[in-house]
Amino acid sequence: MTRLARFWTLGLAAAAVVLGGWLWNRGLPEAWLSTETRSLRELRRELAASLPAWREAEIRVLEILPGTDGGPPVTRLEWRELDAESQPGAPIHFSVAGIQPRFEALTLTFASGDGDRDPLAGKTLVLFRRAYGEHTAPDQGF
């Protein structure tokens, strides 16, 4: 075989291998993505089923005490989560510096969509992180 014929034969074989590999791999990402999408949808259904329809809590101001040694006043608060029958649970008592309590929360709102396909559509999840007063930095709160 001449050098030119050998060159073309090897070139065509290499091109066939590359083209065959590309065609074979072309369907794999779509199949993987489809599987992952199904897994995520199932996870969202499980999450939605495990969450109650809603949760409520009461926050009450118990008293506002004058500050000591020239410091800011202190507000004593009570947090009670309500059960499904609106009965209060065990109280959590805490105090914040100042007369204006503030609450930090993370909020995640799911876009409205097809409620049959997405059980979390149109719902909002709120995670209360901490309470603090106007005289306290948020990271120093309760």
41 and 74 inside one domain: no
Checking if the pLDDT of 93 tops 90, the result is yes
Polymer length of the chain: 142
My answer on whether 24 and 94 are in the same domain is no
Residues 135 and 79 occupy one common structural domain: yes
Q: Are 17 and 42 contained in the same domain?
A: yes
User: Is residue 115 domain-shared with residue 133, that is, in the same domain?
Assistant: yes
| pTM of this prediction exceeds 0.85 | no
More confident residue, 97 or 14: 97
> Domain of 30?
1-50
The verdict on 132 and 71 lying in the same domain is: yes
Task: Spell out where 1-142 has E strands.
Answer: 56-65, 74-82, 92-97, 102-109, 124-132
In this predicted structure, what is the pLDDT of residue 41? 80
In this structure, the answer to whether residues 122 and 79 fall within a common structural domain is yes
Q: Is 69 left (phi over 0), alpha (psi -120 to 50) or beta?
A: left
Query: Whose CA is closest to 77, among 90, 61, 65, 91?
Result: 61
pLDDT at 83: 81
Last residue of a domain, one of 11, 34, 50: 50
Which one, of 94, 97, 98, lies nearest residue 128 by Cα? 94
pLDDT at 15 (0 to 100): 65
Where residue 123 falls among pLDDT bands split at 50, 70, 90? confident
Residue with tokens 């948020």, as numbered in its chain: 138
Strand (E) or helix (H) holding 36: helix 3-50
- DSSP run (H or E) holding 109: strand 102-109
Same-domain check for residues 38 and 87? no
Same domain, 79 and 37: no
- Burial (CB < 10 A; 0-12, 13-18, 19+), residue 96, is buried
Residue 58 pLDDT level (bands cut at 50, 70, 90): confident
Tell me, yes or no, whether 35 and 81 share the same domain.
no
Segment 89-111 mean pLDDT: 88
Confidence of residue 135 (pLDDT cuts 50, 70, 90): confident
Domain count, the chain: 2
Residue % of the chain over a pLDDT of 70: 70
